[in-house]
Structure 1
Amino acid sequence: MDTRYLAGNLWKGGRDPGTIRREGEIQIERALTGQLWADGRTHVQRRGAVAGNQR
């Protein structure tokens, strides 16, 4: 309070950044299925399983 940080509205001088428009639609047909994600996670967990490692 002594330094008067709250004496004015800090955001008054700024401007609203607006919204972002995407270049194109997301191609969901190229996404991995849930089963492929699960298989990938299992594979990585098995490859990372080294004696002495703990979760």
Structure 2
Amino acid sequence: MQFALTPVKVVICEVLQELSPDLEPGKEAQPESMLILRSKNGVYLNIKPL
């Protein structure tokens, strides 16, 4: 299963190199402490081409 995720991560990295992600105005990322630190309500992004 981990091997299948590697190509997906590579494609996401290649796509994000051509985009400019920015946090949505008015939406704060609220950290939630679990085994790992993650956002409680997700992260809202505006994505624009470079």
TM-score range, shorter chain: 0.3 to 0.5
- Looking at both structures, which has the greater relative contact order when contacts are Cα pairs under 8 Å and sequence separation is at least 6? 2
Q: Which has the larger radius of gyration?
A: 1
- TM-score, with normalisation over the residues of structure 2? 0.33
- TM-score, with normalisation over the residues of structure 1? 0.30
